[in-house]
Structure 1
């Protein structure tokens, strides 16, 4: 189990632990934290950050495309003294619905520009365009069958995320944000840091003058983000994620502002804890594979340690758990610790 990060604001941490929505908060002069509700999701809310500058505000992330989310964001901006029409830009850390979903609606109502990393921008059509979604589902089903998921279950799980697609307003970015790019936000020394793993184009935003890091989902205070192999992932997303963690830990930061849970102060210690979690997981995966004569990813996932018994995990989360397990298998394969006999399904063995 990872060690929890030290909270920058205990009240925000307590709200997370008590399953309450935290308050809208002025974090620094000119910087606001606005919790935006997420429906039907254990994360409960995404934290949108509003950066004040001449002419209006810039948002980091946006929330889901629901009326409740839009109204909560508008109410939070009002507490900061702004209206939705004052939003000049939305910097999206990555294209998951709770971060990107509302960006298009905000742009439509305000004229704000949307910024996204090119690696995530390339995924938008296949993920959110109705003309392409059937092909993406077919690719996911093929992957699940190779993992050993039974046919009918694979068909069900392949389309399990379709229920949340309507919570995204499809919007191509107006600007592509590259690694190391300095964002032209007046009064802010905001620099993009490419941190792939949770998504191929995940971005963090560092503010070295204020010694802040807006970490998106890359580093969270309590949980670890999903890092999984899926049809739109990089071939070895866990390696990408661990490399990005080590790189981000070197930043001179006094406070981390994540997109979920609560702000915290000890970036390097938290990164060490998350890295340790994955090292423990890699050991558990390798050991469990070694105890079999050959095992599928799906069977392996059911034998690993999760936060609850496998049979009580909802199907959509079982798919995530399977694909996370696959990410660890791929890492171990490329390190020469496991072998894979390809087929339908693939069979994994300890070398």
Structure 2
């Protein structure tokens, strides 16, 4: 079952069969348009996979969409969040208030939500400004790129680890830890139907943002984690059979393994292109300079300050992966941090 992405106004809640439903929930002001929230039936009430953005229109779409499918938001048993981003976790707290159900997410993302909750707005602005400066952004760009952030999502009641079964009576919904997009991103394998809820990990047409924050961290490799996670989901399913993917955006598609392999190849090409770009530069480059010379969906000059900041995060993740592979090095003791290619 496959449906190409259409504008949100053309989307409708759908019965996907086998006790699984999808409800499109709008994301105000986002080119993605909507999050696909899924409901999985159980004798004790449905469990939602993600919940959507925290906005009155989104709540109306979620609760009304469930009602159109014969489901009552007040009967929801729980919400399992694929990752903490606001278009996935934003409404989880309101669902909990309406139903008395639980919220579950991976322990690594739960730790980030706790940190976000404790981090006051002015402290966050200072952190972000210093991160941008150390990446090589000029003062004007720093001022423009620092902006408001969404309120943190509700704290979860339950924390999941890789391999845990979600509390879904009568069914087997297993958490598969797929870090990269966030440290605690999970896919959810509905083993009794051999379907995979992929969140943002594997999408049919676009690729998720893989960034590193702060940009100059050298103790993590989110892109390396992401590539390993792609291999892992490609190996799920009985006897290696391909599975139908139920992603959080765009459309449902078959053969998650084939799409995971495509995404891995895309990033491997991007890493090689970046290594080659650095090898042609006689001087070490800042993260900001590297981001400006990479290829994005629009020219660097046309990107908004906020999008430039995200691009820098993605450039930093690719630089870190190349560094972990011994293909580039960061210069010690310089501010802003700079990288140069090593002989391959």
Q: TM-score, normalised by structure 1?
A: 0.91
Q: CA RMSD in A?
A: 1.7
Deviation at 1:225, TM superposition (A): 0.3
Counterparts of 1:132 and 1:76, CA distance in 2: 35
Kept after mapping to 2: 8 A contact 1:212/1:257: yes
- For the pair 1:138 / 2:126, whether they are aligned, the reply is yes
Which runs of 5 or more structure 2 residues have no equivalent in the other structure? none
> 1:181 maps to which residue?
164
Structure 1 residue aligned with 2:52, among 56, 63, 81?
Answer: 63
Counterparts of 1:90 and 1:17, CA distance in 2: 26
Structure 2 residue aligned with 1:346, among 322, 337, 343?
Answer: 337
- For the pair 1:301 / 2:291, whether they are aligned, the reply is yes
Counterparts of 1:104 and 1:156, CA distance in 2: 31
Structure 1 residue aligned with 2:194, among 202, 208, 211?
Answer: 211
SS at 2:268 equivalent: helix
Counterparts of 1:28 and 1:187, CA distance in 2: 16
Kept after mapping to 2: 8 A contact 1:182/1:190: yes
> 1:152 maps to which residue?
140
Q: How does 1:156-167 map to 2 (within 5 A)?
A: 156-157=144-145, 159-160=146-147, 162=148, 164-166=149-151
- For the pair 1:251 / 2:236, whether they are aligned, the reply is yes
> 2:88 maps to which residue?
99
Deviation at 1:132, TM superposition (A): 3.1
Cα deviation 1:65-116 (Å, max 9, x = unaligned): 1110000001111111122111110000110000011111111122110001
Judged with a 3 Å threshold, the aligned counterparts in structure 2 of structure 1 residues 74 and 17 are, in CA distance, closer, same or farther, namely closer
Deviation at 1:22, TM superposition (A): 2.0
Counterparts of 1:302 and 1:20, CA distance in 2: 35
Judged with a 3 Å threshold, the aligned counterparts in structure 2 of structure 1 residues 198 and 242 are, in CA distance, closer, same or farther, namely same
Deviates more, 1:135-144 or 1:146-155: 135-144
SS at 1:49 equivalent: strand
Counterparts of 2:108 and 2:214, CA distance in 1: 14
Deviation at 1:34, TM superposition (A): 0.4
Counterparts of 1:138 and 1:242, CA distance in 2: 32
Kept after mapping to 1: 8 A contact 2:8/2:24: no
Structure 2 residue aligned with 1:40, among 22, 26, 29?
Answer: 29
SS at 1:122 equivalent: helix
Cα deviation 1:239-284 (Å, max 9, x = unaligned): 1111111111101242000000001102111011100110111011
Counterparts of 2:123 and 2:92, CA distance in 1: 25
SS at 1:50 equivalent: strand
Kept after mapping to 1: 8 A contact 2:7/2:33: no
- For the pair 1:90 / 2:73, whether they are aligned, the reply is no
> 2:203 maps to which residue?
220
Kept after mapping to 2: 8 A contact 1:301/1:321: yes
Counterparts of 1:267 and 1:239, CA distance in 2: 19
> 1:4 maps to which residue?
none
Counterparts of 2:123 and 2:191, CA distance in 1: 43
SS at 1:165 equivalent: coil
Deviation at 1:165, TM superposition (A): 1.2
Judged with a 3 Å threshold, the aligned counterparts in structure 2 of structure 1 residues 122 and 274 are, in CA distance, closer, same or farther, namely same
The list of structure 1 runs, each at least 4 consecutive aligned residues, that deviate by more than 6 angstroms after superposition, is none
Q: How does 1:316-335 map to 2 (within 5 A)?
A: 316-335=306-325
Q: TM-score, normalised by structure 2?
A: 0.92
Structure 1 residue aligned with 2:302, among 293, 306, 312?
Answer: 312
More RCO (CA 8 Å, sep 6+): 1
Kept after mapping to 1: 8 A contact 2:52/2:58: yes
Counterparts of 1:154 and 1:235, CA distance in 2: 24
- For the pair 1:241 / 2:226, whether they are aligned, the reply is yes
